[in-house]
Each structure stands twice: as structure tokens, then as C-alpha cells.
A and B are shown apart, each in its own frame.
Chain A
Amino acid sequence: MSYTEIERQWTTRLRRRLVKVLPPEKALPDTQPAYVASWIYVFGVTTMCALAVVILSGCVLALRGPMWWHDSPEGHFVNSLHLWSVEIFFFAMVVHLWGKYFMAAWRGGRSLTWVTGAVTFLVSIVAAFTGYLSQTNFDSQWISTQAKDAINATGGGAYFNLLNFGQMLMWHIVLLPIAAVLLTALHVLLVRKKGVVPPFEDEVKAKP
């Protein structure tokens, strides 16, 4: 294979583009700036750790189906693990969101990082909502019958039918988790590319 042919390969071009967009030393840095040594910076990682437990416990629940937790102590345990990891996920994500909001974390060309985080938050709310609808109990029946009117009022009921358990379960265990994980991955890659947002005083010092 000639040099020109190698140069024109899509793998060569893609690799060069990826390295240019996100160099390895930025993707996996050895150190972080001194200002990152603060508790307010740990909630993003906490959110991701909780998301990992949510996905893993969800995978175990998927093996035995949505009714498992009703008649099995093990199922009840895994279902509770799923629920409480979701609680920690939202708790940490909200504190992370507050921290980044008051830091104006969209500064310095980080607007897309902020937007991907905000969209992940919205997707997670829909994922949690469809999770409530997948409990297979009176609670899920009540929530679905109450919420269907809101969705129908938007005209979206034909595409997102809250009374269709199969559709809600598929959204909950396939589409929304894929969206949440991909958005989280993109969010983290953008944080790596642009770096962690500095405090206001450090930004002022850095300006000439």
C-alpha cells in the first residue's frame, strides 16, 4: 500500500482528526489545576458513579423482568439499589448543577459543555419518570393515568403513550439510558477538551 493510499484511508484521517480535537494528554491528563481541590468539584464524579450503579442494577433487573421485585427478596434488594442509586444520582447532579451555575461554567467557550449537562438533566428526568411507570404497581398506574392528560394536552400522546406499559418500559431500559450515557460521555469529553472552569478570581488574574 502506497503512502498516498494510507493518507487517504478513513481510519488515518479519523485518527488524526480525533488527536487534533482531543490530544491524549488532554483526554487523560496527569494533573488538574490547583483550584479543582475543592469539594464542589466532586459532585460531577459522584453523579457518574451513581449512574454506573443505576445502569448495572438496571441490567440485573432486566435479566429477571419488571415483576421480579414483587415476589423475591433478592429482586426487592436490587430494585431498592436501583432506586437509591437514582436518588444519589439526582442529588449529586443538582448540587453539581448549582455549583456550575454559580460559577457561570459556560465561560471560556464552554457553552456546549453546559448545554450537554443541561440536556442530560432533562433526559434523566424523563428516564426517572418512565421508571416510575415501570414499577408494575398501583403507584405506576396512578402516575400514568394522571400524567397522560398533560402529555395528551401537548399533542405528544400519540407518540409517547403513558398507558402503554411496553412502550414506557422500552423507553426506560433502552432509549433513555443510551441517550443519558452518550450525553454524559460527550459532556465529560468536552470537560476534558476545554478544561475545568476556573474560579472568577483566577480568570481575572489570567487576563493581561
Chain B
Amino acid sequence: MSLLAFVAALFPLNTLGHYIHWHIIYISVANLTVIVLMIIVFAAALLAPFPGRKRRTKQ
């Protein structure tokens, strides 16, 4: 199995989408995944050390 076929098997894009339905919230798993990733990246951007920050602050 080629790498492309392996990735395609992991993330099948030619099937019907999966949805989460909870009370009034109705969202596709794909959209929810992107929102969760944005929150993770946002938190990481706040907490992760930036290269050279200490040197710049001293200056």
C-alpha cells in the first residue's frame, strides 16, 4: 500500500460526513475537529516559549 493510499484510508473523504447532534448543537466531525485544533494551537501559542525571547527582553 502506498503512503497516499494509506493516508486516504485513514481519512476517507468520499463517504458521507459524520455529524454530532447534542440538543441544539449540530456540527460535522470535520468542523468540530478544526475548531478543537484551533483552540489547541491558540493555547500552544500562548504557552510555548518563543526562540530568543529572553535575549530580546534583556536587550
Contacts and interface: CB of A to CB of B under 8 A. Distances in A.
B38 to A, nearest CB: 6
Contact of A39 (B37, B38, B44, B57): B44
Nearest to A98: B42
Contact of A34 (B42, B45, B56): B56
A164 to B, nearest CB: 28
Contacts of B41: 91, 95
A94 B48 contact: no
B34 A43 contact: no
Contacts of B42: 40, 95, 98-99
Interface residues of B, number: 15
B59 interface: yes
A43 B38 CA distance: 11
A91 B48 contact: no
12 contacts: A34-B57, A37-B52, A38-B50, A38-B53, A39-B50, A40-B42, A40-B45, A42-B45, A43-B45, A87-B34, A91-B34, A94-B38
Interface of A: 34, 37-40, 42-43, 87, 91, 94-95, 98-99
Interface of B: 34, 37-38, 41-42, 44-46, 48, 50, 52-53, 56-57, 59
